[in-house]
Amino acid sequence: MSVATEVDLRSLAERGAAELGPDASAEQVLAWAAATFGGRMIVASNMQDAVLVDLAAKALPGLEVLFLETGYHFAETIGTRDAVEHVYGVKIVNARARRSVAQQDVERARIFLGQYPK
């Protein structure tokens, strides 16, 4: 798989804008993205609502949804994440923090206290 350059992405965005036009609906944009990227498309969701997941799953069934697992989520957020996966038939991809919650807390405290190296 090749790494896209800024020029590649710019020309792809320009092509999409030309093909879709200024009045394209969210459904049309997502259908274009699904046709353009296929299985390489992923949607990021904070689970506050599932509108984007719903629309994207219709455009690309079995879509992957990125969830940033920080370790700080309420149990209700994790429950919503799991329900979204089940209801919409998507695959949740959990991106986990590199540091534990305790490590993150120490790092934030050091930053707050001005003790973190610059």
pLDDT at 81 (0 to 100): 94
Neighbours of 80 (CB within 10 A): 19
**DSSP state, 24?**
-
- % of the chain residues with pLDDT over 70: 92
Q: Going along 1-118, which residue ranges are E strands?
A: 42-44, 64-69, 91-96
Q: Looking at the domain covering 6-113, what would its CATH class be?
A: alpha beta
Give the pair of three-digit tokens for residue 67.
Answer: 């969830």
Domain ranges of the chain: 6-113
The pLDDT of residue 7 is above 90? no
User: Model confidence over 20-77: pLDDT tens digits?
Assistant: 999 999 999 999 999 999 888 999 887 777 899 999 999 999 999 999 888 888 999 9
- Whether the model clears a pTM of 0.75, i.e. scores above it, the answer is no
Give the pair of three-digit tokens for residue 60.
Answer: 């690309």
